[in-house]
Structure 1
Amino acid sequence: MQEEDGSVTDTATNEETETQKEAVDAVDEAEEAQISQLRANLNLDSETALIETVLFLESEPQNTTVLSKISQLSEEVVSECISRLKDKYANADSGIELSQIVGGWLLTPKKECFDLVKERYGKKNEGRLSKAAIETLSIIAYSQPITRAEIESIRHVNADNMIRILLDRKFIREAGKKDVPGKPIMYATTKEFLEFFHLQSIADLPQLDEKESERFVLAR
């Protein structure tokens, strides 16, 4: 009898546990449905259009933090706008898609569409550089060889992403290590840089004004 009583107790406990689990699952499903409904009711048309405009104008991936600063929207709203844009560009009748690259978001042509017109637009697309990339490249060109820390002291922002992009484009190269503690890598421009900007040598760069020259020197 004791064994039977124990079996009955275990069965009752298991049933109670299963009932509790089902109740928790039901609550979770109800909360998810409520959140989905709230998102559906939230009108973010103008905010989504603003984020879309920023992404169209940028030529490098931008993460939600940067998009938030540019648009003056909260990161939560930016994330929701990104989600809506992803759904929008996922349609088969769109030749554009929203791609996540190096932790950021970028509007790019869909591969199957771009492959059809790559011969005509490939070079044009490759030639695009953002304002931030051009500024970083200018600093390197006028101050080479220069370290990442020295670039950042001039631009006052992290330079890792811009350096990576310029290295990928072969506009800059590693030019040894500076003889200071830590031996940081120095960067300089390349032959490809000269060819792209139609320069015979670095000496052909336009002269900087006095203010810019002082800013570059003080950072070294």
Structure 2
Amino acid sequence: MLNLLIEEYREQNRGIQIIKLENKYQMCTNKDYAEYIKKIIEPKKKKSLSQATLETLTIIAYKQPITKVEIEDIRGVKCDKVLQTLFENELIREAGRLNKIGKPIIYKTTDEFLKLLNIESLEELPPIENYQEVATNE
């Protein structure tokens, strides 16, 4: 009976197979599907974001669409590496180009950004004035 089941699983190329280990049998994943299953069960490694990256992401979230030059004017420092990190983490995207000299890229946040904050839309972001009050009271 067990041999029939083993053969049936093999013939139908199922995701589960039955293997014999010494005097025992074990159900396990079919090795043909190992890579797919690994992608499902391995947690995605989440990198923590630096203070500079979080500041830049906040600027983009509240000022979008925004160019790199505008971000750098607000922060007072270059932001190439920070933007690259945000792209790699799929938190920002290119949203087109400004119709100005040089046609600079404009940036916006992504759906991944919304998921990260557990919000459905940018309207759910806290009002920026709340942060300005905190900053002036410190």
Which of residues 52, 56, 80 in structure 2 aligns to 1:136?
56
Supply the AA of the counterpart residue of 2:109: T
Greater per-residue helix proportion: 1
Task: State the Cα distance separating 1:127 from its structure 2 match.
Answer: 4.3
Task: State the Cα distance separating 1:179 from its structure 2 match.
Answer: 1.3
Aligned match of 1:126: 46
Aligned mates of 2:49, 2:131 — CA distance in 1? 25
Q: Percent of aligned pairs with the same residue?
A: 46
Residue-by-residue CA offset, 1:116-150 (whole Å, 9 max, x unaligned): xxx4xx54x51411111100000000000000000
Show structure 1 runs of 4+ deviating over 3 A: none
Name the SS for the 2:128 alignment partner: coil
Residue-by-residue CA offset, 1:75-113 (whole Å, 9 max, x unaligned): xxxxxxxxxxxxxxxxxxxxxxxxxxxxxxxxxxxxxxx
User: Does 1:183 pair with 2:103?
Assistant: yes
**Matches of residues 44-193 of structure 1 in structure 2 within 5 Å?**
119=42, 123=44, 125-193=45-113
Residue-by-residue CA offset, 1:138-189 (whole Å, 9 max, x unaligned): 0000000000000000000101000000011100000000111111000000
Aligned match of 1:208: 128
Give the alignment's Cα RMSD to 1 decimal: 1.9
Aligned match of 2:136: none
Supply the AA of the counterpart residue of 1:151: I
Highest relative contact order (Cα 8 Å, sep 6+), 1 or 2?
2
Task: State the Cα distance separating 1:209 from its structure 2 match.
Answer: 1.7
Greater per-residue strand proportion: 2
TM-score by length of 1: 0.39
Q: Flag structure 2 segments of 5+ consecutive residues without an equivalent.
A: 1-41, 133-138
Task: State the Cα distance separating 1:211 from its structure 2 match.
Answer: 7.9
Number of residue-to-residue matches in the alignment:
92
